[in-house]
Amino acid sequence: MTNLVTAAEQAAIPTAIAALQAVKAFAANMGPDPAQWVVKYPGSKLILLGTIANLVPSLLVSEGGALDTAVNGQVDGWIAALQKAQTSGA
């Protein structure tokens, strides 16, 4: 299972980077002036949530691909082991 975790984590890295960049952009949009935060918050929040929501499909695709590869590799290993057992037992 270690390979599955590593592959899933690896697949999630680009999305994690993009999410952190979105948080950084949110902070930049809000700016350093607390007097402006009330005015800027609704728009900045909308941009942040929209960006994060748009990352979800790509995360699912990359995670699904990593899972598919890991599962197929494991199943192929089981098939090969069974075929080897079948041939040596005949």
Query: What are the tens digits of pLDDT across the range 41-63?
Result: 999 999 999 999 999 998 898 88
Query: Left, alpha or beta for 31 (phi > 0: left; psi -120 to 50: alpha)?
Result: left
pLDDT at 66 over 90: no
Apex 20 CA angle, 16 and 24, nearest 5: 170
What torsion do the CA atoms of 65, 67, 69, 72 make, to the nearest 10 degrees? -130
Greater confidence (11 vs 40) lies with: 40
**In the structure, what pLDDT confidence band is assigned to residue 89 with cuts at 50, 70 and 90?**
confident
Position 2 scores a pLDDT of 52
* The residue to which tokens 């929209």 are assigned: 50
pTM of the model as a whole: 0.69
